Structure 1
Amino acid sequence: MYQRVMVLVDGSEGARRALEEAVKLARVTHADVQAVFVVEHRSQLVDIGGGFAEQARPNDPASEAATLALDEARTRFTATGVQGSVRAIDSYGESVATVLLRALDEFDADVVVMHADERGGLRRLFAGSVVEALLRETAVPLLLLRNGEE
């Protein structure tokens, strides 16, 4: 059945539920789990005349959120006896969906567990939907969790 389960984490309550579902699935199927956090850094103006671009600061909020979410996943894997790994990926200006599609291929995931962000209106129009992009671009099954569902 499933040998490699990828779960997308971001520190939100929905992502915690997705992590729990991924752990349950992995325990039943004896699968390996990889928790992935895509780090998006705010765009910055850079003086290209100096020849150096400022690197991400260690106390960058996005990096801190990734560390917390991935530590939580690692702790959960250890507590449940699930074989798991964690991975933070910097998007470097790419869309989250593009980064995730590449990570899916690299991990050779059999299924992806994620929380479906329920954005609507103009925000969805301009931001796009990671879920929709993954549905269009991959044949890997998606297990989607929504708010308020058990």
Structure 2
Amino acid sequence: MYQRILVTTDGSKLSQKAIATAIKLAGLTGAELVALKVVQRYPQSYFEGGMALVGEDVKQVEKTWSDAAQKVVNAVKKTAEDAGIKTKAVVVRSDVVSDAILSTIKKQGCDLVVMASHGRKGIKRLLLGSETQHVLTHATVPVLVLK
């Protein structure tokens, strides 16, 4: 049925539900698992929410974020491999999370995406956008969204 399942995580409790579901699906279908965490780049301007830092400090902050993300996906990999699932841990740096997810689907040859929706409504959804909605709209493979 499925050969390679992409599961996205942001380290939240809700994404843990997506991880558990993806591991179960991979076990049932014999699929490989790709665990993905997208790390956004450090904001370069005040209007994006960043403080003015010199280039070397920005690199250090981004490295810290990437290292933390790698720990998250490595933990997913360990849990999945303990369940007998072949797993790849992937960290991608991008300014747009949904675009990074869509790109990873293609690069890794995934045929299913499992991800969580944080269920933002109203003005928060409008202001913050919806990465899940963007993936649902633009993915060429099925997307399983957990709430």
> Which TM-score bucket, shorter chain as reference?
0.7 to 0.9
Report how far residue 123 of structure 1 moved: 2.1
Provide TM-score, normalisation by structure 2. Answer: 0.85
Letter in 1 for 2:55: A
Higher alpha-carbon deviation: 2-11 or 120-129: 120-129
What RMSD in Å do the two structures reach over aligned CA positions?
A: 1.9
Q: Distance in 1 between matches of 2:65 and 2:119?
A: 21
The yes-or-no answer on 1:68 pairing with 2:71 is: yes
The yes-or-no answer on 1:7 pairing with 2:13 is: no
Q: Distance in 1 between matches of 2:138 and 2:93?
A: 20
Structure 1 partner of 2:22: 22
Letter in 2 for 1:11: G
Structure 1 partner of 2:107: 106
Q: Distance in 1 between matches of 2:127 and 2:67?
A: 26
Structure 2 partner of 1:96: 97
8 Å CA contact 1:11, 1:65 repeated in 2: no
| SS of aligned partner of 2:34 | strand
Equivalent pairs counted in the alignment come to: 138
Letter in 1 for 2:25: L
- 5+ unaligned residues in a row in structure 1: which ranges? 46-51
**Pairing of 1:66-145 with structure 2 (within 5 A):** 66-91=69-94, 93=95, 95-145=96-146
- 5+ unaligned residues in a row in structure 2: which ranges? 46-53
Report how far residue 64 of structure 1 moved: 4.3
Report how far residue 32 of structure 1 moved: 0.5
Moved over 4 A (4+): 58-61
Report how far residue 118 of structure 1 moved: 1.1
More helix by share: 2
Provide TM-score, normalisation by structure 1. Answer: 0.83
Identity, % of aligned pairs? 30
| SS of aligned partner of 2:60 | coil
Structure 2 partner of 1:48: none
